[in-house]
Amino acid sequence: MGMVLTDAYYKQVAANSISAGPIAAGVLNGAKLELYKDGPPPDRLSLLADYTICDFAGYSNFGPVVWGPIYRRADNGWATTAPSHQWALTDAAIPGLIGGLLVTDSTGLILLAAMAFASPVSLLDVGSAIIVTPTIVVGGTDEGGACVTGSGAAAA
């Protein structure tokens, strides 16, 4: 499953009268990235409260995110990619199980986009890490996702 933009994202686009093309980077800039442990498969109606945020040793959300330029993909979809971010386990007494990625607004209170990983990622040893490079896509054949790498990471 790819990255799913929520109704909250589209409402912010409409409320701010943003017509900067197929992806409203203004809504995404300043966003925060969160990892979640568990929750339902993301859909347009997903809310932040639907997900349990990770709490492994060394975890904190990442932001503000500055997304890259919007570009057209080979499948005619439009995309933007955020810089990669690494989360690493700092204490094996509190391991990490990661189910997916969330993109919130700058306040960290409104869910803009969500993605479930193909399989959960486990961080069990100190220094094990996950590196995520999120991409949001509108249109085309692929609705975006994230490149997920690192020790213990499964491809998303």
Place of tokens 């990625």: 101
* Distance from C-alpha of 51 to C-alpha of 64, rounded to nearest angstrom: 20
User: Under a CB-based contact definition with an 8 Å cutoff, are residues 24 and 138 in contact?
Assistant: no
The DSSP call for residue 91 is -
For the chain, 156 residues long, give each residue's pLDDT as a single digit of tens: 578 888 888 787 776 655 545 565 567 878 999 999 999 999 999 999 999 999 999 999 999 998 888 888 888 878 888 889 999 999 998 888 999 999 999 999 999 999 999 899 999 999 899 999 988 877 776 655 556 665 554 444
Residue 21: Cβ within 10 Å count: 11
Distance in angstroms (rounded) separating the CA atoms of residues 63 and 109: 13
| Cβ-count burial 43-53 (b if 16+ within 10 Å, e if not) | eeebebebbee
* Residue 85 contacts residue 148 (beta carbons within 8 Å): no
Specify the DSSP class assigned to residue 27: H
- Which tokens is 94 given? 């509190």
Q: Write out the two tokens for 53.
A: 């945020």
The whole-model pTM stands at 0.86
Q: Which residue in 133, 126, 140 sits closest to 156, CA to CA?
A: 133
As given in the structure block, the two tokens for residue 129 are 């890490």
Q: Give the rounded distance of the alpha carbon of 127 from its chain centre.
A: 22
Of 135, 147, 68, 72, nearest in space to 103 by CA? 135
Residue 25, SS3 per DSSP: helix
